[in-house]
Amino acid sequence: MSRKIFEAVKLNHINMKNRLIRSAIWEGIAEFDGSISSEAYEIYGELANGGIGAVIVGFTDISDDDYYIHGAMKLSRDDLIPQYRKLADVIHSAECPAIIQLALGAYYRKLPNGLTQQAEPDQMTESEIRQVTDMFIQAAVRAEKAGFDGVQIHAAHFFFLSRFISPRVNHRNDSYGGDALRRSRIIIDILKGIKENCPSRYDKNQLKRLHARRTYPIRKPRNLQAAR
Ligand SMILES: Cc1cc2nc3c(=O)[nH]c(=O)nc-3n(C[C@H](O)[C@H](O)[C@H](O)COP(=O)(O)O)c2cc1C
């Protein structure tokens, strides 16, 4: 039987001592503003010290205004970078590469009255789509500043990007909708933007988690949530 899974491997600049990667897991224990709880530092320290080849930090939100799932970590603001540097350091101190998953549950537009409103792909303006694209790119820039070795773009499990590329959800007839290539444009723009803005680390080390199954139930939009 092949034992290659326990052999070291180099993925561009990422040196892994074996080929086992801890998949992204949302723990739901971050503070409301996306700050990392002390428990999370312990969990990631324990995972890295357990001998895994690399750790992917779970669902880390790119938006301050995303209320889709609770307790998610956020890399949506520069003032959060030091906490994420500490998290990357905790993982690196066990000689384990640290990758972080960047995600968006849903897009919430700000209304003039201060409330927010969930907008699904069909309802979004092109400018709002570009705003989401930019939020992913800026979060990747923050991840790079925090010392992470790579990012994983969460485009699965019927979260925002997964819905955007799904023909069941995306009925747009502009350059962001129609055939598979147009529906995927948002993801291609995010990847290109990350490559341009984070050349030192993410030139090749981007992992994508991608699927657009037709079978997920569409959640009823939770509109008009009270602004914080
Ligand atoms: C509680 C829980 C949270 C999860 N959070 C994430 C997540 O944040 N991002 C993600 O891509 N997958 C997430 N997943 C999916 C896991 O990464 C993994 O793909 C799934 O559990 C299947 O792997 P397994 O067969 O080893 O359990 C989560 C799964 C569970 C059970």
Domain ranges of the chain: 4-210
For residue 58, the ligand 1 atom closest to its alpha carbon is 8
Q: How far is the CA of 27 from the centre of ligand 1 (A)?
A: 10
User: What pLDDT is stored for residue 204 in this prediction?
Assistant: 46
User: What pLDDT is stored for residue 168 in this prediction?
Assistant: 94
User: What pLDDT is stored for residue 66 in this prediction?
Assistant: 94
User: What pLDDT is stored for residue 215 in this prediction?
Assistant: 41
pLDDT per residue, tens digit, the chain (228 aa), is 567 999 999 988 899 999 999 999 999 999 999 999 999 999 999 999 999 999 999 999 999 999 899 999 999 999 999 999 999 999 999 999 999 999 999 999 999 998 999 999 999 999 999 999 999 999 999 999 999 999 999 999 999 999 999 999 999 999 999 999 999 999 999 999 999 998 766 554 555 555 544 444 444 544 444 433
User: What pLDDT is stored for residue 227 in this prediction?
Assistant: 35
User: What pLDDT is stored for residue 202 in this prediction?
Assistant: 53
**Three-state secondary structure call for residue 81:** helix
Q: How far is the CA of 24 from the centre of ligand 1 (A)?
A: 6
Nearest to 70 by CA among 118, 101, 27: 27
Asked if residue 144 lies in contact with residue 84, where contact means CB atoms within 8 angstroms, the answer is no
Q: Which residues line ligand 1 (CB under 6 A)?
A: 23-26, 58-59, 101, 154, 156, 209
Any residues with CB less than 8 A from the CB of 106 and at least 6 apart, and which? Answer: 66, 67, 68, 118, 120, 159, 160, 221
- Fold classified for 4-210: TIM Barrel (3.20.20)
Please name the residue whose Cα sits nearest to atom 5 of ligand 1: 25
Residue 143 to residue 74: CA distance in whole angstroms: 11
User: What pLDDT is stored for residue 226 in this prediction?
Assistant: 40
Asked if residue 17 lies in contact with residue 8, where contact means CB atoms within 8 angstroms, the answer is yes
Q: How far is the CA of 113 from the centre of ligand 1 (A)?
A: 37
Asked if residue 144 lies in contact with residue 205, where contact means CB atoms within 8 angstroms, the answer is no
Q: How far is the CA of 126 from the centre of ligand 1 (A)?
A: 31
Radius of gyration of the chain (CA): 18
For residue 152, the ligand 1 atom closest to its alpha carbon is 11
Q: How far is the CA of 56 from the centre of ligand 1 (A)?
A: 11
